[in-house]
Structure 1
Amino acid sequence: MTVSLQAAIERHGLLEAGAPSGSAAALVLLVHGRGATAASMLPLADALALPGLCYLAPQADGNSWYPQSFMAPTAANEPFLGNALTRLSTIITDLLASGVTPAGLGVVGFSQGACLASETVLRNPRAYGFIGILSGGAIGPLGTPRDYPGSLGGARVFLGCSDHDPHIPLARVRETTGTFTRMGASVTERIYPGSSHGINADELSHLREGLLAMTARHP
C-alpha cells in the first residue's frame, strides 16, 4: 500500500527537524533512550549541521520503550518490547511505502533507543543508508541466537560505546558488531576508554561522516 510521507509522519506522531520532509535529500530516524523524549533527540540535527537531511523522532509511551534491561530475559520486557519492535519496524515500513528508499533512510539510536534500533534493523534487514548505534547493542539475554535471516549488504553501520558503560556490556557491543558484519554491513566500531554514557564529539564525527556518505549515494 502506498502512503504519503506526510501521512506516515502524522500517523506515527513523529517530531521533525532539519530540512522539510517533502524536499529532504534523505531521512534520519532518531530513537531516544530510557527516560528521554523524542524532542531530546532533535538537537542532534543542529549538532550535525548537515543541510538537506530531515530528522524524524518517535516518542515512547511513558518515555521508555521497555521496562527492564535489554539483557533481561525477553519475557520480562513483554509485551512492551514486542510492541516497541513492531512500532519501529512499522514506521520504517510506512516511510519506505511513501517512496523513501532504504538507501535514503538512516536509523540512529542512543542507549535504550540504540538497542531498539539495533534489534529492529537486524530483524528487518535492508541496504539502509546509515545505522548509528550509540551506547547500545542487540537485545536479549546471554546466549540469544543471532541467526537473523536476510542481508544488510550495502548498509553502513557505526557503533560507539564506552569501555565501561554501566548499562551496556562491552561484550554485547562486540557481539552486535560481529552480527552486523556477518549480515554483510560495512561496520565501524569505536570503543572509548573511560568515557561516560553519552554522545561524544568523535561519535558525532562518525555520524556526520556516515550521513554525508548516505546523501552522496542518494542525491
Structure 2
Amino acid sequence: MNDNVHLRLPTQASGPAPEAVGMAVILIHGRTQSSADMFALAERIGLADVPYIAIEAAGNSWYPDKFMAPLENNQPYLDFALELLEALVVELEARGIPRERIVLLGFSQGACLACEYLYRHPQRWGGLIAFTGGLIGPPETQWSAQGDQLADMSILISNGATDPWVPLSRSRETADVFRQMGARVTEHIYPPREHGVIDDEIAQARALLRP
C-alpha cells in the first residue's frame, strides 16, 4: 500500500513494530470513546511485546444509530467503517502480517464492528476479542453460517447479564453463528455490571493473546 493511503488511515500504535514479532492486534473503540481508551485496555492486558494498532472514528462514533437498528439507519457510515478496517488489514498484509496473525479487539460499538467485519471476511484470523458486542442488524436478522471458514480460530465474546446497550441475547446469537462457522468460541457472561470491561475479561483476553 502506498504512503498516501497510509496517511489517510487515522491510526495510532503502541508496542513493537508488527514486523518485529509477526503479528498485530487491531483496537476498535466504542461510541464516544477514542483510541486512548483502547490503549488503556491494552495496558491492563499487560503484554508489552504485543503490537497494538488503534483506529479512530470521526466524531468518536462508527455509525450513528444503535447497532440493532435497521441497517439503512447506519449507512453509509457502517460501510465506511468496515472499509477503513479493511484498509488497515490490507496495509498490515503489505507489511508481511497475514490475517491469521491479526487479532481484532473491540469494545461495545467497536466490538460490534469487529464482529460484523469478521462475519463479512470469513477466514481464519489470529483471533477476535469482543468485549460487550455482537453482530450488527435488527432483531429479525438471520445469518448464513454454513461451512468452516473460521475453523480453529479463537473467539472471546463477553457481556453482562443485563447490559443496557448490547442485549445478552445478541451476544449469544453471535457466538452461535461463529461456532457454526467453525470457530472455537468462549463466552463469558457476568452478573449485572456497568458498561465496561472488568478484570476477568482482561484476564480472558490475555489468555487468548498468550495461550
Q: When the two structures are superposed, what TM-score results if normalisation uses the length of structure 2? A: 0.93
SS at match of 2:119: helix
Contact conserved, 1:109 with 1:133, CA < 8 A, in 2?
yes
Is residue 63 of structure 2 the alignment partner of residue 66 of structure 1? yes
User: Which residue matches 2:26?
Assistant: 29
Amino acid in the other structure paired with 2:65: Q
Q: Contact conserved, 1:18 with 1:45, CA < 8 A, in 2?
A: no
Which residue identity is paired with 1:166?
P
Indicate the residue corresponding to 1:45 in structure 2.
42
Q: CA deviation at 1:60?
A: 0.3
Q: Deviations over 1:9-42 (max 9, x none)?
A: 5441310012233313420000000001112211
Map 1:78-89 onto structure 2 (within 5 A): 78-89=75-86
**Distance between the aligned counterparts of 1:143 and 1:88, measured in 2?**
26
Q: Distance in 1 between matches of 2:71 and 2:18?
A: 35
- 2:51 maps to 54
Q: Relative to structure 2, which stretch is displaced further, 36-45 or 17-26?
A: 17-26
Q: Give the counterpart of 1:109 among 102, 106, 110.
A: 106
Task: Kindly tell me the number of residue pairs found equivalent between the two proteins.
Answer: 210
Letter in 2 for 1:90: A
CA shift, 1:55, in A, is 0.2
Match in the other structure for 1:217: none
Q: Which runs of 4+ in 1 moved over 3 A?
A: 6-11
How far apart are 1:50 and its partner, in Å? 1.2
SS in 1 for 2:182: coil
Q: Which residue of 2 aligns with 1:145?
A: 142
**AA at the equivalent of 1:43:** A
Flag structure 2 segments of 5+ consecutive residues without an equivalent: none
**DSSP 3-state at the match of 1:22:** helix
Call closer, same or farther: CA 1:9–1:106 in 2, change over 3 Å: farther
Q: Retained in 2: the 8 A contact 1:27–1:55?
A: yes
1:147-168 alpha-carbon deviations (Å, 9 max, x no partner): 1576111210000100000001
**RMSD between aligned residues:** 1.8
Gaps of 5+ in 1: 214-219
C-alpha distance in 2 between matches for 1:87 and 1:189: 28
Q: How far apart are the structure 1 equivalents of 2:145 and 2:62?
A: 22
Displacement of 1:51 in angstroms is 3.0
1:182 matched to 2:180: yes
Q: Distance in 1 between matches of 2:153 and 2:90?
A: 17
The change in CA–CA distance for 1:106 and 1:161 in structure 2 (over 3 A counts) is same
Letter in 1 for 2:112: C
Cα distance 1:17–1:122, how it changes in 2: closer, same or farther (>3 A)? same
Identity over aligned residues, as a percent? Answer: 38
| Alpha-carbon distance between aligned partners in 1 of 2:4 and 2:41, rounded to the nearest angstrom | 24
